[in-house]
Structures are given as structure tokens and as C-alpha cells.
Chains A and B, each alone.
Chain A
Amino acid sequence: MSSTTTAVERPLRRLAVASTTTCASQASAYGKCIVATYTDVRKDTCKDDFLKFAKCVQSAVRRLFCRPASILTAI
């Protein structure tokens, strides 16, 4: 079962796929930044890494969002 085919039904599901599968490397970079600083974390400690991650997630969600719509019009 491919995760992208089942993933597009709900908005949160799309976010899940985008943040774990599509943008795995950016997620890992952001996570590493937090792990490195978690004893003294404050607002926007890892802002740069998160912005890269969020940008990737946003575009991925948008791509996933388009897919079910095209299926619907085909039906």
C-alpha cells in the first residue's frame, strides 16, 4: 500500500504525509536542531530550519491537494 495513494482523503493526512515522507530530510534537519538545543529551547530557536521544512511541507501539501480534485473531475 503506497502511502501517497491513501493519504489524500483528509487535510491532516496530507500534512502527515508531507511532513514525514515528502520532506523527510528537512524534518530531520529541524529535529536535529531541536535535539541539539532542547535543554535551553525558546521561541524561534530553530526558526531557519523550520522555515525550510515548512516551505517544503506547504508545497507538498498543495501538490497532494490537487490530486483528489483531478480524480473527482475524471469521475
Chain B
Amino acid sequence: MLPLRFARRPGRGLASLAPNSVNPYNVFDKSVKRLQKDRAALKNNGETSRTVDYLRDEIADRLLERFEDIKRKFPKVVDVGSGAGHFTRLLQPETVGSVLMLESSEKLLHRDSENAFNVPVQRIHADEEDLLQVVEPNSMDAAVSCLSLQWINDLPGMFVQINRALKPDAPFLGAMFGGETLFELRTALQLAQVDREGGIAPHISPLTDTRDVSNLLGRAGFHLLTVDLDEIQVSYPSMWELMDDLRDMGEGNAVSGRRSFVHRDTLTAASAIYKEMHGNEDGTVPATFQVVFFIGWKQDPNAPKHVDKKSTIPNAL
């Protein structure tokens, strides 16, 4: 506890933000997110983290399909928020020269050895939102991001930085959780908390919609946008296994101003509501993950206006 004289010292007025206060560009607690990812990657020597790779691997695969539709060679690629390299490990030396993996969790970044990758990788441990401090502007032939942008605080700024890091006419491909992801868990926890405690606290992150993504990409200077939403439904024995897996993926709740615990009664109630409201006939419960896939191209000021760039748009849709 602070002595009163400290609390009353003049000149502290502007600095005295309450610890739980939320400003518009500080949605997530980044240090907590880094800790969660570190812990998840360390658990059981990384084995636990590898068991729950099923979702990331599937999405990385779908993103790769879109990547391979671009018939080009990419000498230098940056993977923003690479995690353990789920996407990077799928890249082949025929099309990709080298990859810069940028990840805020050091343990997750170094979870897998060099042997896991087919292309040379350079791992940089830094906050994704400081991209331009570690990457030269106009230096990358492509940027990718697979399932990490959902934890970025300043998404408009992030897109602008990625745009600057790219060479003109270079593509940016990404996948992020968005839309109605985990709506079953969200509604079950909300109903349980209202019934048990009489209020609501954030348990699931605010998520980005496809519309938001295309608006933000456009604002950041990308053009020829392709944005689509893909849905994956995973069945779990119960809400508890879903929550275990989310934690092991490093995808636990990191919303700023969240409560540090969930009451036991609320969790118990939520598991019953989850099953009764959303449960499958075979007794399992579904969890919906919606993933926003997008491709945008950095504008090339020197490109003649009449060039038909449609030939370079991937026909993924």
C-alpha cells in the first residue's frame, strides 16, 4: 500500500492511470500474452504445445494454398507473429529464399529446431508491433502472418508497418481469428456469469470482422484486396478440454482489465450451459473457429496504371 503522501504528490495527475483502465489501442495485455505463450511452449518440453498444433497446422495449410497461387519467387519473406513457425515450415526453397520469423514469445519462437524448416530462417525475438525497428522499410518481397494478428493492439498501425516493410508490388497474406470465433464459449460464460454472479466480464477477446480487415488494409495502403472467412469446427469432450487446449495453444484470455480468475461456480455452470445449448448429439461439444484470410498488395507508384494486375491475383476464391 502506498503511503498517502506519495499518492498526493503534485504532478502525478496525468500518470496515474488506473492499472485496469483501457484505452482504445490497448485492448490486450501484451506482457501477459507473452507469458502465456512462453509457459505453453515450455510445458512438457514443448510436447504439450505440439499436441495442440492441430488448429494452427490446418490454418497454415490453408494459407499456404493461397500463397502458392502467387506464381512468383520470394527471396525475402517476413513471418509476422510466426509462433513456432507453423506456416514457415511449409515453405519450399523453390519459391522462397529466406524467412525472417518475428515473434514476441522467445520460448515459442525457439520451440522447434532448424531441422523443422526447409528454408533458411532467421528468428527475431521482438514485439510484432515494433516491426519497423527490426525490419528495414522496402526490404521484403512478401509478408505473411498466420494466427497471431488477433492479439495485436494497434491493428491499423500494424498493417501500416507491414506495408512500409514491403517492397512495392509485394503481397501481404494473413490469417487471423475473427468473426464469431468461440461464440459458444462466449455465450456459455456470459449466461453462467449472469445467472451466478449477476454481471458480465470479458473472457473472450473482441474480434475483427472481414469488413474491418478490408477497411484497415485499404487504409494502410494495400490494394487488390481479397478477404474471405473460413470456418473450422472442432469437437471436444467438454468445455474443460477446450479450455485446456486453448491454454496450451497460448490462446488464453489476455484482454486488458480482465479478471484474473473465473469463479468456480461460474465455470461449473458454464460447462453445463455449453453442453445443453450447443452440444452435439453424440455428447461432445463443438467449438467454432472463424478465420479471416486476406491478401493485399502494396501499391507500386511506378507501375503503369493500365497494367492488368488481375493476372497476378491469386484465384483462391
Interfacial residues, chain A to chain B (CB-CB below 8 A) = 12-13, 15-16, 19-20, 27-28, 30-32, 34-35, 38, 41-47, 50, 53-54, 57
Contact = CB atoms under 8 A, between A and B. Distances in A.
Contacts of A53: 268-269, 272
B271 A30 contact: no
B277 A31 contact: yes
B197 interface: yes
The 4 closest A-B pairs by CB, nearest first: A31-B276, A43-B198, A16-B240, A27-B272
28 contacts: A13-B240, A15-B264, A15-B268, A16-B238, A16-B240, A19-B240, A19-B272, A20-B271, A20-B275, A30-B269, A30-B272, A30-B273, A30-B276, A31-B272, A31-B275, A34-B191, A34-B192, A34-B272, A34-B277, A38-B277, A42-B195, A43-B194, A44-B198, A45-B195, A46-B195, A50-B196, A53-B272, A54-B268
Interface of B: 191-192, 194-198, 237-238, 240-241, 264-265, 267-269, 271-273, 275-277
Contacts, number: 75
A47 B265 CA distance: 11
Grouping DSSP codes into helix (H, G, I), strand (E, B) and loop, the B interface class, with mixed when no group exceeds half, is: helix
Grouping DSSP codes into helix (H, G, I), strand (E, B) and loop, the A interface class, with mixed when no group exceeds half, is: helix
Contacts of B197: 43
Contacts of B198: 42-44
Contact of A32 (B192, B237, B238, B276): B276
A19 B277 contact: no
Nearest to A38: B191
A44 B277 CA distance: 18
Given A16-B238, A41-B194, A42-B198, A34 B276 contact: yes
Nearest to A47: B195
A7 B271 CA distance: 16
Given A43-B195, A45-B195, A27 B271 contact: yes
Nearest to A42: B194
